[in-house]
């Protein structure tokens, strides 16, 4: 079992991407799968952090 992680800070003061895979036989491949799901949503989550009313909810609890 191995681990892999990716953290990215860009354009704002917090990590816009912070993904980690633990206890996987193929952590890099699994991380690539997670990144493929995350990247299309990343900018919306950054927008949500800056202006919550202007961003899609993606089913986040507490949203209308």
Q: Is the pLDDT of residue 11 over 80?
A: yes
Q: Is the pLDDT of residue 13 over 80?
A: yes
This prediction has a pTM of 0.75
- Per-residue exposure over 30-52, b if at least 16 CB sit within 10 Å of its own CB, e if not: bbeeeeeebeeeeeebbebeeee
29-46 average pLDDT score: 94
Look over the chain and give the mean of its residue pLDDT values, rounded to a whole number. Answer: 90
């Amino acid at each position: 079992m191995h681990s892999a992680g990716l953290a990215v800070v860009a354009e704002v003061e917090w990590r816009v991407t912070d993904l980690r895979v633990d206890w996987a036989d193929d952590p890099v491949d699994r991380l690539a799968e997670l990144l493929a799901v995350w990247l299309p949503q990343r900018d919306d989550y950054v927008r949500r952090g800056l202006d919550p009313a202007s961003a899609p909810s993606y089913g986040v609890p507490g949203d209308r």
